[in-house]
Structure formats: structure tokens, C-alpha cells
Structure 1
Amino acid sequence: MNEVSILLTGDFCPQLRVEDLILKGQMQAVFNDLKAEFDKSDLNIVDLECPLVKDGQTIPKTGPHLKAHPEGVKALQYARVGLVAMANNHIMDYGSQGLFDTMELCKGAGIATVGVGRNLEAARKPFYTEIKGTRIAVLNITENEWSNTHGDEAGANPLDLAKNFHDIRQAKSQSDVVIVIFHGGNEFYELPSPRTKETLRFFVEAGASAVIAHHTHIVSGYEVYEGAPIFYSLGNFVFDWAGQRNSFWNTGYAVRLKIGKHTPVSFEIIPFEQNDAKPGVFRLSGEALSKFNDNLSRLNSVIADDAQLKKQFDDYCRSKKDIYNIYLEPYRNSLLASLRKRGFIPSMFSKEKRRLMLNITRCEAHRDILLKSLEN
């Protein structure tokens, strides 16, 4: 049988308790009963959500700076990961040197990378492989935040529909199957925005055989569009966070794509719990698995209904309105503006405020909420 099996997961950030296990060489305690799923795949692909560095210079940005110990690459090797998707909003947290060091580390471990490079041209390049006579291309794209390159600088492949369309079409002309891995969406929101749904469907229309998304740190649903599966968020894979226990943060799923050379891509979903009371990843079973499946069915039904999807996103935007209004609040009063102009009161636009404004206007997911807040 020439069917190709490719396993994909969401965010991998092997910090805190997981890092402790890795440094002790206890790899089995990281992956537990999920290891068997990696062992039976022809190719395993993981979203590497942080640079693997001991230290370095951080970049100015909003949000946390993430990193994990370079020994984390041994966990990827243990799980037989052959490719890491690196186009995400944290891979440049420790600058271009952190990116280059992580790429070299992976290369030395026999793990390919996709979605990043020393410039935009390199970051846009797909990963190609041939397995059992089927040629497969993998592209990796991320929304526009702090890691993207747009020219000669190092960084991650940005969401740019015109360029993305060209790249998918070009990859399709040189392969049998194209997998697009997308990092984006609204963090902690369990559904795609209508724009995200439209964008990921556009990737299929351009030629993608399957689209896999992550970034939101919460499980979302999926659909099959024009014969291609679209997964809107796999949730976290290995991402220990001290402030998150017994929450949405601790549930995720892997997707096994089953690929034939001349047949539509089929799939299997593998739900798990990660880094809750115990560090590591464990397959769901029993009542927990039943609840997961019920929730996934609920999400799928909303995704299938455009009117309901829009309503829920509008409700979500309303819940964020006050936060985004605070982000935007300038001096409105003419007297205050005059005093500011004369230097009697400080500018509200500090460097930190400017970075915040840049991010919420540049990043597509943030901008969706910003526009709704202004409309309301």
C-alpha cells in the first residue's frame, strides 16, 4: 500500500517542567502514549513556537519572549520529527541570531525547517519531499506580528495573499500534494473569524490539498472544503505554562493526514491532554475523549454556518471592545492636546504604546477586532 502518513501538531515550546524532563533525558515522560503515533508516521511535522537558545538579545515587541533550552531538539529527534514549521509570532523573539542558531541546531539534528529564512525569498520557499512515490510540498505562513520578514531581513514568511497564492500555485505545479501550515487567528478564541475562514479556504482554491492552523492556544473545529480538510486550530502540543492548569490550554489534538498520489487527502484526529497536573502529553480516553468529541462537533457546526460564525465573532469582538478602546485612547480634549503640544504633559505614545499600536493595526487577527470596536 502506497498511502503516505503525515502527523502534524500545534505549538511546541518545551519550557518549564518539560525542559526539566528533557535535561534529565526523560523523553518518554514527555510523549508517553502519544509516542506510538509518531513512530508509525512517514513524516512528523511540529510547529516550533520558540527559538531553542540558552540566552541572547530579545527584540522589542508586545507580549512575552519565549525560548527553550537547545537540548529541546533531542525531544524532537526522539519523536522522529522530520520537519519543524517555524513561521510564527515567537520564532524571532531572540532576534536573527536566535533564529539562525535554532535553524543550525535543527539542521545538525537532521530536522528540516520551513517558513523562515535569512530573507523573504528564503522564508517563502516550500519544503519538498518524496515519500512512497508521492511528491509533497509544505508551505508555512504566519500572520503579521513581530517575526515576519518583508525584504532582506531575516524572519518568517508573512501572510500576503498575492504572494501566498503564487507560492501555492508554484508548489502545486511541482508536487502531487500541497500542505499549507498557517499560524494565526485570535488567541484564546475557539472559532475562526469569518476572514480567517475565507483566507484558509482561499489557500485551498489556490491549490492546497490540506490546511493546518494553530496559534490560538485553544482547540477549534475543522471542515472539508472542495475535498481538502481545513483545521482551524490544533491547540497546543507541548507548551507548559505555570498559569494554565485544568483549562482549554491543556487540550490539543494532532492530525494524521493520509495521502494517496491520486486520491483526496483523508485524516485521523488524535486528541490529547498536555502539561496539566502532570507534565507531558497523554492521549485522551473515556469521558474526557467523549467531551472532546462533543465539543469538536459543536465547533464544526458553527464553522459550517456562516451566519452563526459571524454572530459569534461579533459577540467576541464586543467582549473585547473595552480593551481595544483603552489601546486607542488618546488625548481628545483640545486643552489637553494644547498642553501636550507645549510639553506640559507627557505624550501617551511611549515606545511601548507605539509598538502596541503597530501590532494591533498590522496583525490581521487584532485588526479584525479593532475595526469592529471602531464600528461599534
Structure 2
Amino acid sequence: MVSEHHAEMVKGAVPSMDELQIVAVGDVFVHREQPEEAFQHVSGAFRQADTTFANLEGVYCATQERAPSAGVPVVADPRHARGIPDAGFDVVSLANNHSLDGGTLALLETRELMRSAGVATAGAGENAEDAHRPAVLDTGRGRVAVLAYASVFPCGYEARPGVPGLAPLRASTLYAPWETNEWNPGLLPRVTTVPDAGDMEALREDIARARDRADVVLASFHWGDFTRPYVLTDHEVRTARAAIDAGADAVLGHHHHLLRGIEFHHGRPIFYGLGHFAFDLPGLEERLRKSAYLGRGDARLRRESARRFGEFRIGPREGHPLLPFHPDGRLTGFALLGWAGGSIRAGFAPCVLGPDNSPRPVAASTPEGKEVIDYLERACAYEELPTRFERDAFTFHGIPVTAVRPGD
């Protein structure tokens, strides 16, 4: 049943009738008075996809026990959770830096809320083995396996034998001077990483097992530096390519809150950062101050925070009460993957977030859509990713999609 891996990309831009279609977005968390309105502009199309994926960036629970290592908990009443299945999402990742903000029982409650509503979950579970188990979805056109991991999370959030948590993909950070022939105390260092050997071996084993069960294998990662635009760490590039080498058909990255570049490795797409799609954070500034988090402490912490984040500091943004991020964070969209006969093609549908924080599709031929695709092109150029964008190449249930292709 499993297709030959790393077949060539489908050459045509227009989807075929028998193609398995997968939609993927970045971070989502619905926390508003009318949860059903969060995805009102895209839910009709999402329900038509064979599989629709998101990273669920928070916890829904009736009671919570704050994890001691949590920053600012992203937790909401379960009544808000219905915004996820109502939008047409079929599977969510629970592997991120907020998945245990309310404690281990809240994580499992969130998982049960999703599953009882018909939404599969990946990346977290009752123990390490459970957290590494893929979500497998049967569609009329093939079977899709989703694996999810987190590289960014508070200590103690990882699953262990007999302990609930997430599936980790860790790396150690190394600092070295840029110049080795001089002393220069205080100069910003060169930063590199060394992968956790056990986590990398688990990733390869997980993908191999998933390939035995599915036609399409998706690997999702919560990773990266959200304090700077465009940049990719060596950890992201190394891990993404390793996942493709191990047999994944596509890599889906998130956490940055800003879009990142896209590349192809052995003909398979890597979306390094899908940004956030509809990530509600009401009253965040008050919660940050209460926790003395992200520079909301004494004068020294405020100065250091301002230097660290600059204009990308998380905080109130006039006119956008649910989205306290840099204006570039209002540029978003969803990936569209098409699989048929072992080949896979990729597209990206640009969207924008208005004051209501609900993603609205826009054609790349419009000023708003052009801004999104221009941003993606800059992200690719910054990291020298040879990717081409064919704007408004086709539509997905009425939504304009830009084809994404390997460059020369």
C-alpha cells in the first residue's frame, strides 16, 4: 500500500481529480466569545480537504494545575475548543511549548476533547511511547500519518516512561567567537547546535514505522527563533532534511509567529514556518506582567527585553486585541499539499489577519496577497532557499493558491 518514496514532483500546477489534498496551518488557539467565527473565511474549504492539520498552541481544560516551569499559561475554558473541529481540522499537533501549561491532566483533557470531537492528535500522550505514536487518518484517496515533535518547550514538558508529556526533538546550543585569533569579551557569539542523538534516532524510527502504515507521512516540528524575522537555525535545517531522508513526505514547521522560507529536499517540501493562523491571546499583557515574563519584571529585565526583541517584542498592538505580535504576524496562509501516485506537489494560499483575528484568504494579485508572497520570497532569499512561487496558479474550492516549486 505504501508508495515509492521520493518520487518526482508532480509537474502540473492544476490538481488532478483523484489527488489526495492536505491542508496545513501553523499555530491555532481559539479563545473568543464566538469560537465558530475564528475560521469563518476558510472553514468551508478546509472541510473539503482530505486532511487538515494545525498545531494546537494551548490547553482547553475545566481545571488547571500550572506547570512550575510554564511561562505564561495559554489555557482556555473547554467551551472555546469547539472552534477547532467546527473549522474542519482533522488532526492537531499537541507538541509545543504550551501543551502542558495547565499540567499533565489538562494535556490529557485537551487530547480527549479533540478526539471526542473527531480530531486526531499527535505529539503528546500518556507516556513516551504514546507521544511518539503517529496519528493515522484514512481518506478515500490514501492513508496519512502525522508525527509531531517540539524543540522549544519548558523543561519537564517532555513525555517519559509512565509520565504524560510531549515528544521532544532536542539539541544542545554551543557558543563560539566569530574570530578565533583575538579576545573580545561581550561580543555576540556564533551559535551552533548539536542534536540529541536519542531524539534523532527516535525520529528516524518513528518515520520508518509510520511509512509501513501510510501512503503519506507528515512530520511536524515546533521550533525556531521567534525574536528575528526570516532566520533559520542550523537545528531546523538539519532536522527537516533528516526527516525527509528518513522517509517523510513533507515537513511542517511552526512557533515563529512570522512566516519562514520554504525549500525542497529530494523533491519533498519543507515549510519551515507556517506562522500562526488564528492564535487568540486576550489580555496577554496583564498576564505577562503577573508572571514577570518576557521582560515584564524589574527595570533591568525591561531593558534586556527591549534589546533582545526590539520591534518584535510581544505586547499590545493597537486595533488587534487578540494578536499582540509584530504587524508582519498578520501575514499568514495555509500550505496545500497534493499527493497522487507517489508524487507530491505544494502550494501556499496567502491569508491576512484583520482586527477580528480571523484569517481571510487573499489572491496574490491583490496588494494584500502580494505582500504575503513577497514576504515569503524575502524569507527564502535571506536563507538562500532556491524556491519559486507561481502566483495564483490555481484555486482550492474558490481560494487562490500560489504554486510552490523547487528553484534552479
TM-score range, shorter chain: 0.7 to 0.9
Q: Which amino acid aligns with 2:77?
A: H
Q: Select which of 191, 205, 208 maps to 1:166.
A: 205
Aligned match of 2:109: 101
Q: Which amino acid aligns with 1:164?
A: L
Q: Select which of 311, 328, 340 maps to 1:260.
A: 340
Deviation at 1:133, TM superposition (A): 4.4
Deviation at 1:194, TM superposition (A): 2.3
Q: Select which of 78, 89, 95 maps to 1:81.
A: 89
Q: Which amino acid aligns with 2:213?
A: Q
In structure 2, C-alpha distance between the alignment counterparts of 1:176 and 1:170, rounded to whole Å? 12
Is 2:171 the partner of 1:152? Answer: no
Q: Select which of 276, 280, 284 maps to 2:362.
A: 284
Q: Select which of 193, 199, 202 maps to 2:233.
A: 193
Aligned match of 1:21: 34
Give per-residue Cα distances to partners, 1:164-217, cap 9 Å, x unaligned. Answer: 111112212332221101111112333211231111111101111100000111
Q: Which amino acid aligns with 1:170?
A: R
Q: Which amino acid aligns with 2:215?
A: D
Q: Which amino acid aligns with 2:105?
A: Q
In structure 2, C-alpha distance between the alignment counterparts of 1:186 and 1:81, rounded to whole Å? 27
Q: Select which of 227, 234, 238 maps to 2:274.
A: 234
Higher strand share: 2
Higher helix share: 1
Deviation at 1:281, TM superposition (A): 2.0
Count of equivalent residues: 296
Give per-residue Cα distances to partners, 1:239-287, cap 9 Å, x unaligned. Answer: 1345244612222221111111322x2122112123x423322123421
Deviation at 1:34, TM superposition (A): 1.8
Aligned match of 1:139: 147
Counterpart secondary structure, 1:6: strand
In structure 2, C-alpha distance between the alignment counterparts of 1:38 and 1:12, rounded to whole Å? 14
CA contact (8 A) 1:128 1:135 kept: yes
Q: Select which of 315, 328, 333 maps to 1:248.
A: 328
Aligned match of 2:20: 4
Deviation at 1:49, TM superposition (A): 0.7
Pair 1:203–1:73, CA change in 2 (3 A): same
Pair 1:267–1:58, CA change in 2 (3 A): same
Aligned identity (percent) is 27
CA contact (8 A) 1:45 1:82 kept: yes
Give per-residue Cα distances to partners, 1:214-235, cap 9 Å, x unaligned. Answer: 0111111101110100001011
Deviation at 1:37, TM superposition (A): 2.4
5+ residue gaps, structure 1, are 307-376
Question: TM-score of the superposition, structure 1-length normalised?
Answer: 0.74
Aligned match of 1:327: none
Give per-residue Cα distances to partners, 1:300-353, cap 9 Å, x unaligned. Answer: 1233369xxxxxxxxxxxxxxxxxxxxxxxxxxxxxxxxxxxxxxxxxxxxxxx
Aligned match of 2:352: 273
CA contact (8 A) 1:235 1:252 kept: yes
Aligned match of 1:211: 251
Tell which deviates more after alignment, 161-170 or 235-244.
235-244
Pair 1:176–1:133, CA change in 2 (3 A): same
Counterpart secondary structure, 2:78: coil
In structure 1, C-alpha distance between the alignment counterparts of 2:64 and 2:238, rounded to whole Å? 38
Q: Which amino acid aligns with 1:290?
A: K
Superposition CA RMSD, Å: 1.9
CA contact (8 A) 2:70 2:101 kept: no
Pair 1:74–1:295, CA change in 2 (3 A): same
